[in-house]
Structure 1
Amino acid sequence: MRVLFDNCTSPVFASTLHGFIQHFGHQAFHIRDVPGLSNGRHSPDLEWIKLLRMAPELWIFISGDGRILKNQAERAAVRSAGLHGFILAPAYQKTPLHQVASTIVLRWPDMLHLTEIVSAPSMHEIPFGKHTKLRSLPL
């Protein structure tokens, strides 16, 4: 499985998660490092969603911006691409990077499990707090 962190997240999250999951055969990329994106970090959401849809590998994405659910075109693109998406709760925007990175690593087994038991497309929020479950979001 491959994980894309969009432009609303720090590259630190992708490299931290990659270091943890690469031993299991998974990879994590920040949008600036995704092979095949012509505009790199400046690629609009619709462009990277299309790239993930066309890729032969299984991709999920993690975003720091819940507005992807409010834009009709982006919601439709995520649905048609059959992606699993995870949105960081708004509280993470004021949280130090090292705490957010550690929470993503801590939540990885839950996220992986959800992608195995829930049919794509799906969206979930990564809540702030260790003992709170991932919350399903309407797509």
Structure 2
Amino acid sequence: MKLLFDNCTAPVLASTLDAFIQRDGHRAYHLKDLTDLPRGRHSQDVEWLAYLKIQIDTWIFITADDRLRKNKPERIALRSSGLHGFVLARGYAKLPMNQQASLLLWHWPSIMQVVSIVAPPALHELPVNRNPRLSSLPF
């Protein structure tokens, strides 16, 4: 499985999680790392959602942009993408980067569990605490 961090997240979160999840055969990328995406880092949400949809590999994504589920074009793209998405709760932005990375590592088993039991498309919120329960988000 491959994990994409969009532009609303820091690239260091992708590289930190990537180092951890590689041992299980997974990979994490930041949007800036997808060199074959036509507009690269400047791609709109609907563009990278469409890109991930057509990939052979199984992709999930993490974003800090809750507007993804509220704006009509993004919501339609998300529904048609067949992807699992995870939205960072608002409090993440107030945390130091090391604590953000720590919480992502803490939540990784819960992310994997959700992906294995919930059919996509699905959107969940990653809380700003160590609660292993992830909230499902309507979209």
TM-score range, shorter chain: over 0.9
Deviation, structure 1 residue 131:
2.5
Distance 1:114 1:135 in 2: 10
The secondary structure found in structure 1 opposite 2:86 is strand
TM-score by length of 2: 0.97
What residue number does 1:93 align with? Answer: 93
What residue number does 2:112 align with? Answer: 112
What residue number does 2:76 align with? Answer: 76
Distance 2:46 2:39 in 1: 12
The secondary structure found in structure 1 opposite 2:17 is helix
Contact 2:5–2:31, Cα closer than 8 Å, also in 1: yes
Distance 2:14 2:132 in 1: 22
CA deviations over 1:53-95 (Å, ceiling 9, x no partner): 0001000000011010111111111111101000000011111
Q: Which runs of 5+ in 1 are unaligned?
A: none
Q: What is the RMSD computed on CA atoms of the aligned residues?
A: 0.9
1:14 is matched by which residue type in structure 2? A
The secondary structure found in structure 1 opposite 2:114 is helix
Distance 1:129 1:10 in 2: 19
What residue number does 2:127 align with? Answer: 127
Q: Percent identity?
A: 49
TM-score by length of 1: 0.97
Dislocated runs of 4+, deviation >4 Å: none
